[in-house]
Amino acid sequence: MLATERADPRYAGIEDLSTLDLARTMNEADASVSAAVAAVLPDVAAAIDAVADRLAKGGRLRYVGAGTAGRMAVMDAAECPPTFSTDPDLIKAVIAGGKAAEGGAVEGTEDDAAAGEAAMADDGIGPADAVVGLAASGRTPFVVAAVREARRRGALTVGLSCNTGTVLSEAAEHRIEVEVGPEVVAGSTRLKSGTAQKFVLNMISTISMVRLGRVYRNYMVDMKVANQKLAARAVRMIREITGAGPDEAEAALAASGNRVKTAVVMLELGVGAADAEARLERADGRLSGALAA
């Protein structure tokens, strides 16, 4: 039996625990996830380097999942455009059952291997792209079939599961097997398994964006300024990077068209918005490169 499906005897009496003790039990279980992820960080890093290389050369990243794993993928992909100003098509999630499955279960779709293959064909997945398949069990037919088809098409493939020696790992070029063990509620992989998958997805998307120059120091300088909170954050970033005063930073942000990197180059090099944009373009969008040129 898969480790993620086993019933752990330590949790056999949870219905008799007080709410506080049960919360402590779940918290202790969740605390073990970080160590499980730490144990496979070399595999995670190797996969990220390969993904970032595809993206740097103009490829796309696709997450493929079903159920909880699919919804984790949707969440991570959806945050990339506002955080890093990526094109919405650069990083997307493919979930078994489509849009209807994003908000709830669509029964039977995770078993449809043909749909997984078709999803890769419909999206035109090819050698330039990277596909990350997520399945806590490591055997979800929709996901495994999608990864196999993506690999057949020449795409980089990664299998992320929470068991070892899985079919998904065999199907993918890169394997990430995070051994979280049995869940507090047996088989409920939205718990530790879901947390582990989100941990790894955070790393894949964030570190890839760092490698692509969409982060400067530890600032999200490609962030979209879409509301008052983000406008205040943008001004704060500009001030902290350049040492400018609040009025100067606000004026530069406005003159840049709400583009943080452009505003920073304007202030640091004493140039106008058009010149700053040109310098960033020559530096492939990397703020460090534009400032050094």
- CA dist 52 and 63 (Å) reads 14
CA of 22: how far to CAs of 3, 16, 99, 126, 187, in Å?
Answer: 22, 9, 34, 47, 18
Distance of CA 267 to the CA centre of its chain: 32
Q: Known catalytic residue: 179? A: no
- CA dist 56 and 76 (Å) reads 19
- CA dist 264 and 244 (Å) reads 9
Tokens 């792209």 -> residue: 129
Q: Which of 5, 15, 28, 79 is catalytic?
A: 79
258: left (phi over 0), alpha (psi -120 to 50) or beta: left
CA of 174: how far to CAs of 36, 184, 259, in Å?
Answer: 18, 29, 36
- Residue closest to 119 by CA, chosen among 83, 93, 82: 93
Strands 174-177 and 130-134: unpaired
Q: Which of 110, 149, 177, 183 is catalytic?
A: 110
Q: Known catalytic residue: 110? A: yes
Neighbours of 82 (CB within 10 A): 16
Catalytic annotation, residues? 79, 110
